Structure formats: structure tokens, C-alpha cells
Amino acid sequence: MAQAPRRTVGIVTGAASGIGLAVATRLARDGLAIALFDRDGDAADQRAGELRDAGLQAMAVPVDVSDRAQVEAGVAEVRRALGPVSVLVNNAGKEGFRRFLDISPESWDELLAVNLTGVFHCCQVVVPDMVEAGWGRIVNISSSSTHGGQPFMAHYVASKSGVNGLTKSLALEFGPLGITVNAIPPGFIDTPMSRRNAEKGRLGPGGMEAAVERTTVRRAGRPEDIAAMCSFLVSEEAGYVTGQLLGVNGGRNTG
């Protein structure tokens, strides 16, 4: 079985803020050379600069993962600057909150283009590097809403459920080639997105505080909690873990 490349190069999508930034920071601290993909190129560039100022290896690439040409160009830029890619964390996502009968076909297509097709694009473009190396790690960030559904988020839940299914299929196809593929469905994580949703009343009665009370460990998750699981899943030690949905949710979902 092939070992991890001497210089491990990783891509984290949606890496300019929130969970993506925490993951990129953790993996860079673990010694990976990290490329931060984000539609907000200026924010990604600023974050990558901060990582470099801390003595870590990082670069920023403006990429909209729903655009195949941008993904291909971005991965090519990473290969030129850092080398072949052996770690991919698909975190970029678009939220959706609308009554089902009010979801337009255009809104449906737009959300799935980012949340599901974007994962397809990134995996398909990066996996050849992993196949050639005989080693690779893919982690897809899905959602705990896939466990039981969520009202007014049909398009979002459908897209993230698709990510879970894609994860399992890729794990079976590429496991014999030394590539593991897993998904993390985060629970209630304290991010700018969750705080915006609380302000809009989307977390239900009681907002953030009530959501914490419904969490077994009685705290909100932190982006760093997701990053810690990613750190393990992309490591050499996680080579026997693939095709799994590994919830990081404080006990809110145990199935």
C-alpha cells in the first residue's frame, strides 16, 4: 500500500470563512500545503496571507465550484505552485430556506450546482492525481439535516443527501486504489451563517440558546470541531476508514 506523498498538498473549498477556514488552518498547521478555494477571492487571499505570515504553506485561488472551467483552472494552478493534489475537502456550500412550493427551478438548479455538482467537479478533476500516487483523501462536508430532513430546506437537504450518496459510491470505487472518501455531516455549528439564520428566526423558538439546549453536550459546535475530524480523516492513520458518514454534532444525532 502506498504511503502519503512526502509533500501533501490539499485543497479546501469555501475556505475563506467559517468551517472551511478552520479546516484549512488546521491542515496547514498539520504540515500540509493548502490551497484555499473560494468565490470571494479577496477574502481567500487575505486568509492565505495570514497563514503564510504564521509560517504555514498556503495559497488562495478564486474558484466558483459550480463552474467546471474554474475548477479545472484552479486545480492546474495548484499543481503548478504546490504539486499534485492528494487531499480534498469539499466544504463550499450554499444555504437555502424557502417554502417548497416557492422554490423555483432556477433556485433548485443553482443550489444543487454548488452543493452537489461542485463536489462532483472537484472530485473528478482532483482524483487522477490521487490515482497516480496510489494515495488520496477526500472529505465531503454534508449536513446533519440529511438524517431526518428539515422543513423549508428541501433543496438544501436534497443536495447534501446527494453528497452522502456520492461519498459512499466513490469510496467503493476508489478504495482499492488507496483513496478514502468520507463525509462529515456537521450538527449545530456556531458560524456566521448560523447566527444569520438565528436572527431571521430560522432556528426555531429560542434561537441559538434553545439550539444549544437541544444539543446533548450543551454547547454549540465550533468550526474547529469539524477541522479536528478532518485532520484525522486525511491522515495516514485513517486509512481503514472510508465510505463513512461521521457525524460531529454533540450528540444531536446518533444514528
Which are the catalytic amino acids? 156
Question: Which helix (DSSP H) or strand (DSSP E) does residue 58 occupy?
Answer: strand 58-62
Please tell me whether residue 206 adopts helix, strand or coil conformation: coil
The answer for residues whose C-beta is within 8 angstroms of residue 96's C-beta and 6 or more apart is 103, 107, 111, 153, 155, 156
Do residues 191 and 18 make contact, with C-beta atoms less than 8 angstroms apart?
A: yes
Q: Which residue has the cell 480523516?
A: 233
Do residues 218 and 42 make contact, with C-beta atoms less than 8 angstroms apart?
A: no
CA atoms of 27 and 206, how far apart (whole Å): 35
Backbone φ and ψ of 15, nearest 5°? -95, 5
CA atoms of 8 and 24, how far apart (whole Å): 13
Closest alpha carbon to 58 in 12, 119, 106:
12
Closest alpha carbon to 114 in 149, 148, 145, 156:
156
Distances (CA, A) of 75 to 9, 37, 83, 200: 11, 9, 10, 37
CA atoms of 59 and 46, how far apart (whole Å): 10
